[in-house]
Amino acid sequence: MNTTLARPDLTAADRCDRCGAAAKVRAVLPSGGELLFCGHHARKHQDRLKELEANIQQGQEELTS
């Protein structure tokens, strides 16, 4: 049986790992770890996250460039 664990949706209690603002993006690393970012820091680090092949999960609000 294949079981996939779903990560919970981001809530107002989730905070950016860089600045403490409300988290809008979860970056799940191939190692299984995760990073939470506000929109600003998600955009700032998006190229590096892509290089790391992180799975990017956005909250309810979409990011704008």
CB distance 20 to 41 below 8 Å: no
**3-state secondary structure labels for all residues of the chain:** CCCCCCCCCCCCCCECCCCCCECCEEEECCCCCEEEECHHHHHHHHHHHHHCCCEEEECCCCCCC
pLDDT at residue 13, rounded to an integer: 96
pLDDT at residue 4, rounded to an integer: 55
pTM: 0.80
62 falls in which pLDDT band (50, 70, 90)? Answer: very low
CB distance 56 to 27 below 8 Å: yes
CB distance 63 to 46 below 8 Å: no
Residues 24-43 have a mean pLDDT of 96
Output the average pLDDT for the chain: 88
pLDDT higher than threshold 70 for residue 61: no
